[in-house]
Structure 1
């Protein structure tokens, strides 16, 4: 099976500091992957590069069935190509309802005239209801987003990304600040999403990573230190030395 995303030999430096060092990483079209590593390992910079926020000094990033270069696209074009990113802190429209947040995020023509004349259709309303149910927010659909719990806001933001129909989701520390019940529901949601798209979860919480039960990539000093199951990588002497032993 060919990779959906292929990062090959990518490096980037900031003021002489090499944040990403000859990084190679690939993920399949329907796969869940956890990315772990110590602070400064390059996890955030890796996501910045994939989403077009940061340009690498060297290397290539190929995307999709036709292996097109992401380096030729800007951030908006990369998002439209099917890569969605969720940051650690949820950013939702707090004064708007759950339904309105999801409606605003639906994939649609963003031409200014099309936006001015846009009205919800039966199909768009049905999609919003479907998304809310998928997120476990069906009974919250008319509530203002600002009234939701921290975990529910995280799910809503994931739903806003899903409304764009991405093929790859990059999710940064989704379990942070969640209750145990919310963490369990988040695990189930991410595992379910990865059945139909690629999901990359950057996480520090080893218990949460274990719950995901997926392949793990360990980054250190901007490159891949180890890869495999969580049990395999946590037995790796190098991983123990640079990450787990601290």
Structure 2
């Protein structure tokens, strides 16, 4: 087993009496590719919100890295600096800038107004941008304005911008939504490649997309882990069929 990078243990969170997360425990290794599935209201988004510091749980622990740092109580910015990157469902790129400029702005460099003003184009930065562009399949689009890209290409660019920050954990929310079949296939390849050197957690509804990821799957239901294992293993679980697949989500 690879080393544990993130350990969520006994975490619970209620909103106005509704228990969104209920004694949730999940371990993520580094490197690892993990898919998280489950019906609407299962707690998938709240799970990511808690890891990234957007939401604070009522109880439990979220422990990070070799130094066993608690992420609870840390700001979203500090958690991001620790190496947690998150991609939301709707791509957020700088539409008026080129692909190259988007990636350059995202590179892991000193932050702050002065650092941005004094930013220099260096050979190492240029090589890093070229490498990321190749990884996300946008080498031929580096000079294009981001607003002109297709929906799928914007998703890849945003993944590239997160990779530029060199995260150890990448949380990706429903990347297949709105994509063509060809774009979905390319997206799985990008995520599988990224997961060779870091932890990548994909929250997804599209079962064919999850099957193509070919990774361990965690099924959430009512804020807890209902089943875990290969896709074939979890989709043959009677409880999973009852609460998720049987409701027409397959």
TM-score by length of 2: 0.97
Instruction: Determine if the alignment matches structure 1 residue 153 to structure 2 residue 144.
Output: no
- The equivalent residue for 1:209 is 210
The 5 Å alignment of 1:68-107 reads: 68-107=69-108
SS in structure 1 opposite 2:244?
helix
Q: 1:116 offset after TM fit, Å? A: 2.0
Instruction: Point out where structure 2 has 5 or more consecutive residues left out of the alignment.
Output: none
Structure 1 stretch 68-77 or stretch 138-147: which is displaced more? Answer: 68-77
Residues 53-93 of structure 1, C-alpha deviations (whole Å, 9 max, x = no match): 00000000000111111113110000010000000000000
Instruction: Determine if the alignment matches structure 1 residue 198 to structure 2 residue 203.
Output: no
CA distance in 2, matches of 1:72, 1:197: 24
CA distance in 1, matches of 2:200, 2:53: 18
CA distance in 2, matches of 1:60, 1:98: 39
Q: 1:142 offset after TM fit, Å? A: 0.2
The 5 Å alignment of 1:123-134 reads: 123-134=124-135
Instruction: Point out where structure 1 has 5 or more consecutive residues left out of the alignment.
Output: none
CA distance in 1, matches of 2:118, 2:197: 32
Structure 1 stretch 90-99 or stretch 110-119: which is displaced more? Answer: 110-119
- The equivalent residue for 2:235 is 234
CA distance in 1, matches of 2:92, 2:225: 30
Q: CA RMSD in A?
A: 0.8
- Aligned residue pair count: 246
Q: 1:26 offset after TM fit, Å? A: 0.7
Q: 1:120 offset after TM fit, Å? A: 1.8
Structure 1 stretch 109-118 or stretch 40-49: which is displaced more? Answer: 109-118
Q: 1:113 offset after TM fit, Å? A: 2.1
Q: 1:111 offset after TM fit, Å? A: 2.9
SS in structure 2 opposite 1:77?
helix
